[in-house]
Structure 1
Amino acid sequence: MTAISTRAPALRTRWLLTVVLTGQFMAILDVSIVNVASPVIRSDLGASGSGLQMVISGYTIAYAMLLITGARLGGRYGGRRLFLYGLAGFTAASLACGLAVSTGQLVAFRLLQGAGAALMVPQVLSMIQMNFEGAARARALSLYATVISGAAVVGQVLGGVLVSADLYGTAWRPVFLVNVPIGIGLLAVGARLLPADGPLRHRALDLPGLVTLSLAVSLLVVPLVLGHEQDWPLWGWAAMAASVAAAGLFVLVERGAPAPLVPARVLRAPGVAVSALAVFGAMATYGGFLFTLALHLQGALGDSPLRAGLTFVPGAAAFAVVSLNWRRVPERLHRRMIIVSFGVAALGYLGLSLALGGGGHGEPLLWVALAVVGAGLGGAFSPVLALALTHVAPGDAPDASGLFVMMTQLGQVVGVATFGTLYLSLGSAPGTGVALAVTALVTGVCALPLLRR
């Protein structure tokens, strides 16, 4: 397929990125923005502890479970069509969440919101892969990485602002309703300016693969999301053990499938398997870092949600700056830069341990450490994604998109559960920082095969 840079005006190119990345931003924002509003939701709706946990986690569960399905549907019916359908569902569900009058309603609408995001988000990476090439693709992927980093931080800050403002007595409802005008605007612009889908690959949906993979992901994600709040019950451990068996069943099913969800040729493409592992490790440390530091700031240090959110700004800014400028490094050094960047992130995590070891905020060392973490992760995530997708054929873009988006989301879920549990068990931010540093270093070591061209 001819790249959009050679067949469409530059203005249309910019609109493509603006629409799809704003949709991506909304989907990621909705993970963190609700956390800030949870105490108000509980008091207003009289939600039980488990009900509130499902309000927060239901979105993530549906989102993670259906990502690979959304990617395959995009390959079958068209990324543009599925993006707009997913965006419409996400927007409608956001409106319903904002108008909910009971905990049960809010949980149900959050699940629908996650399903809409799962249809929409995989198409973003797929459309970038299919419509850009060369330097234009690298720039687009840098913006994609910046959105992932920035949305999580903006969600915490914006959530604090909206809840504190209590607009017209609406309390928590604006954290959902803010999506509605943005979503309607994106639908209007996207329907007019997003490029038409190219030739579609009418392959079978591989229902056995979809069912077994969804089962494996669900059995892993649900206990990880709900486990700590329920004091790690026996059913959670049983479900995680069963997820291993379900994953094995998925592998067996895929071996004989005529149209597997992730074709072997995608995994065999140079650097794809190692890059997927690196993406998982990077996002696991990032998700764990955001969650545990937010807990520490608002719990042990007594910060308000707004101040806690603003604390993350240096890290998000550094992530953005590096993500947008890593291409200035000579191309021959890009592979080495990935490995070095994981080491830089590890140093940043150790800096966090030192800054917080005295029992206070540890400023300005805290700000410096946050910036180092952001720079390290930015220098690893964007290049590794660009390197992997360089060797994926445009026709395989939906499958590669589903793989990397799923690894990104699962990495964050596993990171939040693992490092969150470690922090709550140790009661020590410095100890958790050391664990994050070790994980970043191990991920860098696992990425060493990328040095082989």
Structure 2
Amino acid sequence: MTAAFMDLVDVTIVNIAIPAIQRDEGASFSHIQWITAGYALAFAAGLITGGRLGDIHGRKRVFLIGIAGFTVASALCGLAVNPDMLVASRILQGATAALMVPQVLSIVHATFPAHERGKVFGLFGAVVGLGAVSGPLLGALLTQWNLFGLEWRPIFLINLPVGVLGLVLGRRFITESKAPQALKLDLVGVALVTGGLLMLLYPLTHGRELGWPMWGYASMVGAFAVFVALVAYERRKARQDGSPLVELSLFRVKSFAAGIAVQTVFGIGLGIFFLVWTLYMQIGLGWSPLRAGLTGVPFSIAVSVAAGVSVQMLVPRFGRKVLQAGALTMAAGVLLYIWEADHFGADVTPWQMALPLVFMGIGMGLIVAPLTDAILSEVPRQHAGSASGLINTVQQMGNALGLGLVSVVFFGVVDERVPRAALGEEFANGFENALSYVVVVLLVIFGLMFLLPRKPAGTGLEAGTAADEGPVDPAAGAPATAPGGSAGTVQEDAQRRKVLTH
């Protein structure tokens, strides 16, 4: 939870400080995009590999390496002497986060039985909300206070004590776990996944600045060919030695496949909204970082409360309807925000923004925690790392796609050469245009949610799934237990399932 909190705070804290970075370092709009998209790109490209490394070498070990690397990369971001060094350090930060973050969900999945996971993911949702509240406020305060004359740099340096705390807590309290069978890292799969993602996301993020060259379109088309080759190779790899990087059998689990589709599209919407929202408030409306950060508090509180309520109380009773209600509620909030931006223009106040942000926060909270639970509920424990890596990968890939689309849906509308006095109106127009795409994304998500199970396993209605209850004693017709009535350790359960499977 400490690592999940640190990762989320780092993303949101950077968003609120971007205008200050642009002003103090002379960063271009391309640099602005790459400070956020570079992190997302490296994160997305490394998550599947990071998840699989946890399965192979131990989730605790890889987690600790990741959190140590993330802390060092944060220090480099804080010490960056120019925008290029900051972008490079953010890419390193994303790569180390790709080792750290997948272990969070896989450790939870390997540690807790299905009927307890709802409570854990409720806590996870609350941590998400707390991080979403803390990030913008910390970013605003640290930027505005200009501690020791360091300007925006403390937003990265604050990760150092949190990272050290995470290392100490991790070494003390996390129990080691890994896949029961000996797996090997699929290096060809790593190359194909990383290459395909870079071919897709780099031209999308950089294309507008370069004038949309033909090689960019060719690269994006070629990326899909790489992904087709990846699927074919991973199938052959699974037949040969059972150690593919991407466990394609997971996509035969309906809840997993449907949830992955929802997660990808949801990431696109969030990638568009959060960057555009920050630019609109601070550059378009001319608000201070603190004012912009405080404006987001109603949204963050609503996310935190709704996430906890959805998993604990609503999903066990209403199933996927809760997630669909979340998508529609969030879309209603975005539509109200568009109307306010058009009606009030540059005179809009934080108080007027509170209502649409509460709607959006409630909608997001109804989606984030139960969606993760639904995706992982029927996944076998031995593939927890691979599944967690895929969940985070598609979310970050969607996020990076959304950040890349900002070039089209926001900067494509804004004329950066207008006088300062007219910049607010330009940014308002770009904001409304970008949010109209977010509404479309949310309606697509609502449709995709019909593919989710009506009542996801592990919501509290069932004792657990077949993947989690352990082997069934054919004579008794009930889950076998260890001597003394105990279900045994995670590793023992996994080993029993492996023997029974063979």
TM-aligned CA deviation for residue 55 of structure 1:
4.5
SS at match of 1:357: helix
User: Hey, what's the Cα distance between the residues in 2 that align with 1:434 and 1:53?
Assistant: 20
SS at match of 1:195: coil
The 8 Å contact of residues 291 and 420 in structure 1, kept in 2 or not, is answered as: no
Choose the corresponding residue for 2:386, options 399, 404, 410: 399
Choose the corresponding residue for 1:423, options 407, 410, 413: 410
Choose the corresponding residue for 1:334, options 319, 327, 332: 319
Equivalence for 1:432 = 434
Choose the corresponding residue for 2:272, options 288, 291, 299: 288
Correspondence 1:299 to 2:252: no
Correspondence 1:265 to 2:249: yes
Correspondence 1:86 to 2:66: yes
TM-aligned CA deviation for residue 340 of structure 1:
2.2
User: Hey, what's the Cα distance between the residues in 2 that align with 1:233 and 1:307?
Assistant: 39
Choose the corresponding residue for 1:133, options 113, 127, 132: 113
Equivalence for 2:186 = 206
The 8 Å contact of residues 107 and 177 in structure 2, kept in 1 or not, is answered as: no
Correspondence 1:355 to 2:355: no
Alignment of 1:240-251 (within 5 A): 240-251=220-231
Equivalence for 2:90 = 110
TM-aligned CA deviation for residue 266 of structure 1:
1.3
Distance 1:414 1:356, change over 3 A: same
User: Hey, what's the Cα distance between the residues in 1 that align with 2:359 and 2:188?
Assistant: 44
Distance 1:278 1:105, change over 3 A: closer
Q: Which amino acid aligns with 2:281?
A: L
User: Hey, what's the Cα distance between the residues in 1 that align with 2:370 and 2:164?
Assistant: 33
TM-aligned CA deviation for residue 126 of structure 1:
0.6
User: Hey, what's the Cα distance between the residues in 2 that align with 1:297 and 1:434?
Assistant: 17
Alignment of 1:147-186 (within 5 A): 147-148=127-128, 150-152=130-132, 154-186=134-166
Alignment of 1:190-229 (within 5 A): 190-197=170-177, 200-229=180-209
User: Hey, what's the Cα distance between the residues in 1 that align with 2:150 and 2:137?
Assistant: 18
User: Hey, what's the Cα distance between the residues in 1 that align with 2:373 and 2:149?
Assistant: 46
The 8 Å contact of residues 133 and 301 in structure 2, kept in 1 or not, is answered as: no
Alignment of 1:370-409 (within 5 A): 370-409=357-396
Moved more, 146-155 or 393-402: 146-155
TM-aligned CA deviation for residue 363 of structure 1:
6.0
Q: Which amino acid aligns with 2:221?
A: A
TM-score for both structures, normalised by structure 2: 0.79
Equivalence for 2:446 = 444
The 8 Å contact of residues 33 and 175 in structure 1, kept in 2 or not, is answered as: yes
Equivalence for 2:259 = 275
Moved more, 134-143 or 228-237: 228-237
TM-aligned CA deviation for residue 64 of structure 1:
1.6
TM-aligned CA deviation for residue 328 of structure 1:
1.1
TM-aligned CA deviation for residue 27 of structure 1:
2.0
User: Hey, what's the Cα distance between the residues in 1 that align with 2:290 and 2:124?
Assistant: 25
Correspondence 1:315 to 2:299: yes
Distance 1:362 1:437, change over 3 A: farther
User: Hey, what's the Cα distance between the residues in 2 that align with 1:138 and 1:178?
Assistant: 31
User: Hey, what's the Cα distance between the residues in 2 that align with 1:30 and 1:81?
Assistant: 22
TM-aligned CA deviation for residue 231 of structure 1:
4.6
Work out the percentage of aligned pairs sharing the same amino acid: 35
SS at match of 1:203: coil
Moved more, 390-399 or 54-63: 54-63
1:95-114 alpha-carbon deviations (Å, 9 max, x no partner): 23323445554444333222
The 8 Å contact of residues 42 and 94 in structure 2, kept in 1 or not, is answered as: yes
Equivalence for 2:462 = none
User: Hey, what's the Cα distance between the residues in 2 that align with 1:68 and 1:308?
Assistant: 34
User: Hey, what's the Cα distance between the residues in 2 that align with 1:22 and 1:452?
Assistant: 32
Q: Which amino acid aligns with 2:187?
A: L
The 8 Å contact of residues 145 and 381 in structure 1, kept in 2 or not, is answered as: yes
1:221-252 alpha-carbon deviations (Å, 9 max, x no partner): 22233334445444433322221221122122
TM-aligned CA deviation for residue 56 of structure 1:
4.5
User: Hey, what's the Cα distance between the residues in 1 that align with 2:141 and 2:315?
Assistant: 42
User: Hey, what's the Cα distance between the residues in 2 that align with 1:71 and 1:243?
Assistant: 22
The 8 Å contact of residues 136 and 296 in structure 2, kept in 1 or not, is answered as: no
The 8 Å contact of residues 56 and 179 in structure 2, kept in 1 or not, is answered as: no
Q: Which amino acid aligns with 2:4?
A: Q
The 8 Å contact of residues 84 and 190 in structure 1, kept in 2 or not, is answered as: yes
Correspondence 1:142 to 2:122: yes
TM-aligned CA deviation for residue 261 of structure 1:
2.3
The 8 Å contact of residues 264 and 397 in structure 2, kept in 1 or not, is answered as: yes
Moved more, 221-230 or 205-214: 221-230
TM-aligned CA deviation for residue 154 of structure 1:
3.4
User: Hey, what's the Cα distance between the residues in 1 that align with 2:326 and 2:25?
Assistant: 45
Q: Which amino acid aligns with 1:310?
A: L
User: Hey, what's the Cα distance between the residues in 1 that align with 2:20 and 2:348?
Assistant: 26
SS at match of 2:183: coil
Aligned residues: 433
The structure with the larger Rg is: 2
User: Hey, what's the Cα distance between the residues in 2 that align with 1:279 and 1:271?
Assistant: 12
Distance 1:234 1:362, change over 3 A: farther
Equivalence for 2:491 = none
TM-aligned CA deviation for residue 68 of structure 1:
0.9
The 8 Å contact of residues 287 and 415 in structure 1, kept in 2 or not, is answered as: yes
TM-score for both structures, normalised by structure 1: 0.87
Q: Which amino acid aligns with 1:377?
A: M
User: Hey, what's the Cα distance between the residues in 2 that align with 1:52 and 1:270?
Assistant: 38
1:42-70 alpha-carbon deviations (Å, 9 max, x no partner): 66666676566545543232222111110
Q: Which amino acid aligns with 2:396?
A: Q
Moved more, 431-440 or 230-239: 230-239
TM-aligned CA deviation for residue 122 of structure 1:
0.6
The 8 Å contact of residues 282 and 377 in structure 1, kept in 2 or not, is answered as: no
Equivalence for 2:493 = none
User: Hey, what's the Cα distance between the residues in 1 that align with 2:29 and 2:340?
Assistant: 33
Distance 1:452 1:175, change over 3 A: closer
